[in-house]
Structure 1
């Protein structure tokens, strides 16, 4: 049942007085005038629907709506939002859900805004038989709103959690996971494995974020293991027991719930905890080749302690071993600057800590002077941002940072790019991308061969890819009509909401060299413009002055082979890699890189792009909230080999050519 009108005869509830300071604002469209609505609903076992006013067209601005939901005794209330799309600023428009019939912050279940993909719906449960949903709107820009299904579920199903687990392996989750766990719940799991064995517990998802909570204390919602409390959002968490028994306690208080956790446990022999692998103190196992390689693969640095440095390594002042290639490369690899303080080549840099890593440009490294965001304008160099009026701004990464640095505001034009409309979960250690996570990713299909290369969306009519996908021994590869582009694709076997466009024109860089892969870039013009959606959006292109410092974490995506010589992936894959210093890049590639190339990956190997990823984007997230494309997957020796990182086309060096050809 879809309800659209207010409860008969009801006067304005007290909570409509909220946000009265915005009463001077006027709704821009006559049909979007303020709306006040109130509903009393009875939840039953059969699901019923409730919708925001105006759904699915657009909700009105300055609306105040409230749904009071009751269920019979011994039942709780479950609400699942099948569609959720409101303003992505919770100070303007938001949905608040309470574990009571009054908007009491001490009993708030959650406070949400933005847009959620089908793969990550908002689903909450009350701790008793009452719930309140408030919907407050203020912004002049309307969105479709939401539709939600509410129903009664047995209270015993909500409170049921915790048990004794005696298998050698298994899974435990927070109550109702992956839905939000309910308020006011306490659970205890006891994991028992055979005598002489121990328990390894690894969390694959962990999210218990609450406003204002110190994650070092965890005084609200938490998981407690062996006397330690864990809360917040974690990308890695592994624990090992000291005996053959491990207790896991979960506690949620009366307010602010979240997705919770999923954890896998297994029994292991403490005499041989990681057969043929290295055992981290954190309890996880890693390949032995990753031990003492200079990278914190364990997460707790246990793989980098007590190391005897190899011939191709040097010892940091803090005892860590790092590759000799990292000495004097302007990056604080050791963490104590000891790799940068014995550099006779640059004796004038006595205190590198005075030159923050993020602002290390070549002018900084060679002169000892850093360009700072507050530097005066007017002094032009290769590292200045050039405004449309020819003014120069000496600020690192001035474009699209939400600050007007140019007098003509040209640094903030064309910035409707590099955003992901959907709110997405963080999956610990996952490699499958979520739907809408990389909305600029494109799959290129050649004739009847299926997916061959990747590309990225830079406008509604232009894509960016690698020249080597098209310039081959066979001229048919450069015929535009032989290619089909698929935007918004996630699964190669599914084409729901995917936009297919034939190519109209292929422009490979005229200086592309098939022997060296220099200038490995191609522009693809579409035969018909794309319609931007939640899963189809352009990536931001960096200005020539944009800096992506060594060590910066970025992401490469594609449907390429999952391992060297393996089959191509069906689901879009993602991998986090690091930008590698140019000097190191040139050394490990034996001098094969040009200024139009950059390296990204890990010198230890293990993570890399592979065959079929060619032409796809390497993207980095900036503090401004925008994603920028730093490179194009170009070439490499094998896939994920040690000391053989991936090589990418460097876009900052080719930005002028892109603008010349596309006017973007």
Structure 2
């Protein structure tokens, strides 16, 4: 037995009964092992510590001296800027850097910069040179000019701060140029209106970058721009590319991204858009990487815009495709006087991102006996801050900014209200939309309930157990009815929520006095109770592995159960949901097999209450069409040959022979109905396999397989979703997503653009109570019980997907049935895929 395992520990202390007869290997030089006196030993130790400290101090001093005090340790510092020049007309030849006119004006600008720098001792001392990159028409029209330049300085490390201050000081001092010209010599005089300069983004000066081409694009005719290789191959490594867009005078540039898929880390690969022709940080509109989900429509303040792409060595992705166009500056409509009892206001071009350097003022005036209130239904203006110094909305004297003001209501104390929107010169956002309404002060919510936050809601929503106001005021001081329980905090909640495992009251009242394990006991998934001390002890005390399922190490069990994962070798492990979590738990590694599914490549039923998805966001989503009819049902990609859908989609209905494979065609990689593109693949169906026990009355076993007539090539827009193991656990409250082209409201028509909506897994007991016990164990419930979000007609067969801890997406359910669409306390019912894992394997091999 290993002595350490037996409990004996090594001790450096020599006891009196030490066995002196023990033999040790002899030392090569016994003098090196002679015992010295303790005093001398301490002296040497002390001396060693002093010498070590001195060495560290010396090294630190040398480093400080080397990097901060030596004047010959210098770094290159590059600034990008613009110079506004009066009394100079913009010439078409200035667009061509090889033209004599460009060269002549560039020489004048470089001389002017040198003269400006010469007036500052720091700038003139370390200035190395300037180059002009582009010209554009100035804000003053054809009689003014803007030059975009790059200046390089060779600066000692400790002087970098002083250099930045000196550069920034040019901006106020340049205003003096408006009062008199800066003359080099009479024939070369330039009238400088303003100078803006900022240090360049350091990622654009990485030594590994191979600075590529810059492209000049005129947007007077709409067109398309895309990254190199798109869509057939990934963009190249280590490139810095620029696209300079120019619109006609009196117009602005509009750039709408159709696809944008980059590496998730913006320190590696990114695009950046500027409201200029040079990458001036002061004029950056946005920086994007990964697979962004916000608005990707951008507008310039004038007639120029710059798009840059920077990539690094590794992990190249598809890139982007964007549509460019121009719109007249006069097309911006915002501000004005409003006098109706009701109306709406929004930031310019909403829901596109608003342009920079924009100001709008709305003056609202209603009848004198009324007040005004405004409610924001969407509000996205940068980050929340106290003063809101950048982009903001000002309602009378109250400034607003940030991203958490949806449903905020502000009221006036008179019959007038002023709303002002302001954006600065950089970093735009989607903006806001709001509705205003006149009201009588004594009755601010006629026929409705007034929340404490001034929100008005339908009176039927009061005391129904749901926080509809957002501040809970609609659930205060309620009298509970027979179907409700009274929480200790005074709130009323449905009785069937008692003892469902969720704290619905908010104070735990509904989970008290339930038949549970005693304090100090652990509740096993199979219902048994064991002592808390037995958790994670390396033994299967629950007999289903659940007491060992969330421990640091998973346990190989002697006996498998319905709650444990079975490895390929037949052994079972205790860990909860071990598949594809990046950690091999089975000895044969089978828990990490086939894990390419569900990970959106290039990334580490109509939907009620949903939102439009982005192209390629749900690459496993399929649209099933009946020939001559169009979209009928949804489906999920399992591999390059097989799809999974609902059995009720493929049942004959009178003359419609939906069970016949030749009636169907599958559209894979589709985003917009009736609009195919390079990603879209159309396939015929070879065979349909509906579950043999499907019950059209109860919708039990509502699942079917479809085999394509030909394999498809998997890519970022067509990719299989992961099938969970039979024991995979989708706990109540788990966030899930429903996707589809089905009706966007009950009784409505199908959606054109693929919709998505977030729901949550609903407790099975609660669901059965809500749906009158029509839900079987083969079904899964999900939704938002207060209503408003659900799957509907046309979404049938589509996926209910859940993202696992490793980031891979699993198919939790198939859209099956429901009581109407998005009704309150009526969740959607889905086929529970875990119950059919063996059936899918048997029929398709997947």
TM over 0.5: yes
Q: Larger Cα Rg: Structure 1 or Structure 2? A: 2
Query: Which runs of structure 2 are paired with 1:9-48 in the superposition (5 Å)?
Result: 18=203, 23=208, 35-37=210-212, 39=214
Q: Equivalent residues in 2 for 1:350-499 (5 A)?
A: 362=525, 367=530, 373-380=550-557, 382-388=562-568, 394-401=574-581, 410-418=590-598, 436=616, 438-446=618-626, 450-471=630-651, 476-489=657-670, 492=673, 494=675, 498-499=680-681
Q: How far apart, in 1, do the equivalents of 2:386 and 2:734 lie?
A: 26
In structure 2, the residue matched to 1:87 is 262
Matched residue SS, 1:339 = helix
| Match of residue 236, structure 2, among 21, 40, 60 | 60
Q: Confirm whether residue 569 of structure 1 aligns to residue 736 of structure 2.
A: no
Alpha-carbon deviations, 1:632-658, whole Å to 9, x = none?
A: 222334445554433221112222332
Pair 1:613-2:760 in alignment: no
| 3-state secondary structure, aligned to 1:195 | coil
Q: How do residues 308-387 of structure 1 correspond to structure 2 at under 5 angstroms?
A: 308-343=479-514, 345-349=515-519, 362=525, 367=530, 373-380=550-557, 382-387=562-567
Q: Alpha-carbon deviations, 1:527-584, whole Å to 9, x = none?
A: 12334466544333333343322233433344545555x3542435555433221111
- Structure 2 SS opposite 1:659: helix
- For 1:651, the equivalent position in structure 2 comes to 833
Structure 1 residues 584-593 or 606-615, which shifts more? 606-615
Structure 2: how far apart are the matches of 1:40 and 1:503? 45
CA shift in 2, pair 1:95/1:315, >3 Å = same
Number of aligned residue pairs: give it. Answer: 632
User: Do the aligned residues in 2 keep the contact of 1:203 with 1:428 (CA within 8 Å)?
Assistant: no
Structure 1 residues 317 and 659: alpha-carbon distance in aligned structure 2, compared to 1, 3 A threshold: farther
Does residue 108 of the first structure (1) align with residue 308 of the second (2)? no
TM superposition shift of 1:331: 1.1
SS of 2:345 mapped into structure 1: strand
Q: Quickly say closer, same or farther: Cα 1:141–1:603, change in 2 above 3 A.
A: closer
The answer to whether the Cα contact below 8 Å between 1:75 and 1:152 also exists between their aligned partners in 2 is: no
Query: In 2 relative to 1, CA 203–157 (structure 1 residues): closer, same or farther, beyond 3 Å?
Result: same
1:221 to 369, 383, 391: 391
SS at match of 1:123: strand
Q: 1:182 to 1:495 in 2, by over 3 A?
A: closer
Relative contact order, higher structure (CA 8 A, sep 6+): 1
Where does 1:109-188 land on structure 2 (aligned, <5 Å)? 109-114=285-290, 121-126=296-301, 133-143=307-317, 145-146=319-320, 161-188=334-361
Question: Secondary structure, in 3 states, of the residue corresponding to 1:661?
Answer: helix
Residue 498 to residue 69, structure 1, CA distance change in 2 (3 Å): closer
Partners in 2 of 1:646 and 1:133 — Cα distance?
44
CA RMSD, 1 decimal: 4.5
Deviation at residue 503 of structure 1 after TM alignment: 1.8
- Deviation readout 1:78-114 (Å, 9 max, x if unpaired): 3515555452322321112345676554543211124
> Within 1, Cα distance between the matches of 2:321 and 2:631?
36
1:207 corresponds to which of 363, 369, 380:
380
2: CA distance, partners of 1:403 / 1:229? 50
- CA 1:525 to 1:46, structure 2 compared with 1: closer, same or farther past 3 Å? closer
Look up the match of 1:555.
737
Q: Quick one: which of 743, 763, 769 aligns to 1:587? A: 769
Looking at structure 2, the residues matched to 458 and 397 of structure 1 have their Cα atoms a distance apart, in angstroms, of 20
Does residue 684 of structure 2 align to residue 502 of structure 1?
A: yes
Counterparts in 2 of 1:54 and 1:463: CA distance versus 1, 3 Å = closer
Whole-angstrom distance in 2 between the partners of 1:226 and 1:147: 42
Flag the structure with higher helix content. Answer: 2
C-alpha contact (below 8 Å) 1:443/1:454 kept by paired residues: yes
Structure 1 stretch displaced more, 332-341 or 511-520? 511-520
Question: Which secondary structure state, in structure 1, belongs to the residue aligned with residue 795 of structure 2?
Answer: coil
Moved more, 491-500 or 313-322: 491-500
- CA drift of 1:328 comes to 1.3
8 Å contact 2:815–2:831 — kept in the other structure? Answer: yes
Question: Is contact 2:217–2:243 with CA below 8 Å preserved after alignment?
Answer: no
Between the aligned partners of 2:376 and 2:528, the Cα distance in structure 1 is: 42
Structure 1 pair 521/107, CA: closer, same or farther in 2 (3 Å)?
same
What runs of 5+ residues in structure 1 fail to find an aligned partner? 24-33
Aligned residues of 1:560 and 1:611 also touching (Cα < 8 A): yes
Quote how far apart the aligned CAs of 1:137 are.
0.8
- Are the equivalent residues in 2 in contact too, given 1:174–1:262 (CA < 8 A)? yes
One of 782, 792, 815 as aligned partner of 1:600 = 782
Equivalent residue for 1:27? none
Bigger mean CA deviation after superposition, 270-279 or 507-516? 270-279
